[in-house]
Amino acid sequence: MSSDDLIRVGVIGVGRGRSFATGASTSLGMKLVAVCDQWEEKLTEAGEEFGVATYTDYDEFLQHDMDAVILANYFHEHSPFAIKALRAGKHVMSETAANTTLAQGVELCRTVEETGLTYMFAENYPYTVFNQEMRRVYQTGEIGSVTYAEGEYNHPMSPEARLRISPGRKHWRAWIPSTYYCTHALAPLMYITDTMPVRVNALSIACESIENEVAAVGDPGSVILCRMDNGAVFRLFGLILPGHSCWYRVHGQTGAMEITRGGGYFGPGQVRVWHEDWNMPDGVEAERVYDPQWPEHGDLAEKAGHGGGDFWTPFHFAQAIRSGKPPFLDVYRGVAMSSVGIVAWRSALEEGAPLDMPDFRDEANRSAYEADHWSPWPQDAGPDQPPPSIRGLREPHPEGLARGRKIWKEMGYSGEDM
C-alpha cells in the first residue's frame, strides 16, 4: 500500500494511547501522524519516540491533516472528544466508555448519523481468541439461541498500583461507580450472541477494608442483570474485589459453552462446549474441550495487548473506514453497553430496582434522554446528582489519602486535587 493510501491517524493520550500509537502501523494500512496530551513531559517523549507532531491543545490537534482519531483519554471524557472530532470531519475510535451520561449517548448517536463518518467502540475483550471462537460456534447454531450468559471482569490491584494509575483525589478511578466499567464483562456476550440489552437491575458491593487502602470513594464491586432483546438474561460481575476473573459462559437452547477457568486473563485456557445426551445436535460430541485458534492474523494478534484485542480493534476500525460499512462495535452497541453501567447504577442506588434501557437506535425513544445529565463525577457535583457509592458521598479514608499523596509526590504529580 502506498503512503498516499494509508489512513492518517492521531491518538489522544500518551499513556494507554501508546498501544494504539504503536498499532497504527502500515500492516493495518495506517500511519500515525500526531499525538495529543496535556502531560507535556510524556507527550514530548512520545513525539520523539514515534517521530510525529505533538499537541497539548485538542482543537489545534484536530486541525492536523489526518483522517481519523483514536481516543485513549480519561474514561469519563470520551464522548465530548468524539463528538468534536466527528464534527471536525474525522473518523473516531473510542476507548470505553463511549458515554458517561445518557444525554451524551443521545448526542453521540445523532452526531454519527449526521456526519456519516465511521465510529467504532474500541472494546477489546470480544476479540480474544476465546471469545472469537465462541462467536464462531454460536453462529453455527450448535447451542441454539442464548437463554442465559455470564460475563466477569474483576481486576483487583495492590493499593500502590491503584494509586499510581489514579493520581489525585478527583481522578475518575477514585470516583467510578461499581457498575460503570461493565463493558469488559458485557461486550463479549453481546458480540458472541448479537443481542442488545433492554432492561437492567443491579446491586453494588461496598467493602470499606478495600477502599480505605486508597483514596477512592466508590464501591469495589457489583452484580448486574441484563434482560436482552431475545428474552435471555446476562449476569455481569466485577470490578476490583479480590480474585482475578476474566471469564465468559453462554447457555443456549441445545447446549452451552464457556472459557475454562484458570491461567489468568487470557490463558493458557481453553474453550469448553457441552450438551445433554438427550438434547444433542446430530454429529457433535457430548463434550469437547480444546485450544481455540485465531481466525486469521494470529502472528500479529499474539503480539498485541489485551489478549490480542489491541490488534483487532484498529484492524476492524481500518476495515470500516475503507469499506464505509459500520463495524460490529458501532455507535449504537457502544453507547448501549456503556449506558448499561449508568442505568445499572440508578438501579443499585434503588437496591436493585429493574429499569428500562433507552433504545439509542430509535429517535422517538432516545429523545426522552437528551437532557439526562445524571452524573457521579466530581466536576458535575450538584443537586440531584448521584453519589459514587451506595454509602453516599463520603471523604477518602485518611490513611488511604496519605498513602496516595506520598505516591503521587514520588511520581511528580502536583495537581490541585492532591
Q: What is the pLDDT of residue 262?
A: 74
Higher pLDDT, 329 or 280: 329
The pLDDT mean for the chain works out to 94
Task: Let me know if residue 387 belongs to a domain.
Answer: no
For the segment 133-174, what is each residue's pLDDT rounded down to a tens digit? Answer: 999 999 999 999 999 999 999 999 999 999 999 999 999 999
* pLDDT reading at 263 higher than 70: no
Residue 81 shares a structural domain with residue 224: no
Q: pLDDT tier at 412 (50, 70, 90 boundaries)?
A: confident
> What total of structural domains would you count in the chain?
2
Q: Please report the sign of the dihedral spanned by the C-alpha atoms of residue 242, residue 245, residue 250, residue 255.
A: negative
What is the Cα–Cα distance from 70 to 92, expressed in whole angstroms?
A: 6
Whether residues 287 and 141 share a domain: the answer is yes
Are 93 and 163 found together in one domain? no
Q: pLDDT by residue (tens digit) across 72-88?
A: 999 999 999 999 999 99
Name the percent of the chain lying above pLDDT 70: 98
268 pLDDT band (50/70/90 cuts)? low
Q: Could you tell me if 102 and 133 lie in one domain?
A: no
Q: What is the pLDDT of residues 248-257, one digit of tens each?
A: 999 999 999 9
pLDDT band at 226 (very low <50, low <70, confident <90, very high): very high
Based on the fold, state whether residues 192 and 233 are members of the same structural domain: yes
HSE, CB side, 13 Å, CA atoms: give it for residue 268: 3
Structure confidence at residue 55 (pLDDT): 97
142 domain residue, yes or no = yes
Residues 365 and 257 in one domain: yes
Which letter, b or e, does each residue of 250-281 get, where b requires 16 or more Cβ atoms within 10 Å of its Cβ?
A: bbbebbbbbbeeeeebbbebbbbbbbeeeebe
pLDDT band at 245 (very low <50, low <70, confident <90, very high): very high
The yes-or-no verdict on residue 264 having pLDDT over 70 is: no
Which pLDDT belongs to residue 224? 98
* The model's pTM: 0.95
Q: Is residue 403 part of a domain?
A: no
For residue 290, give its domain range.
126-300+341-380
Indicate whether 305 belongs to any domain: no
Residue 281: predicted pLDDT:
83
| β-bridge pairing 119-121 and 245-252 | unpaired
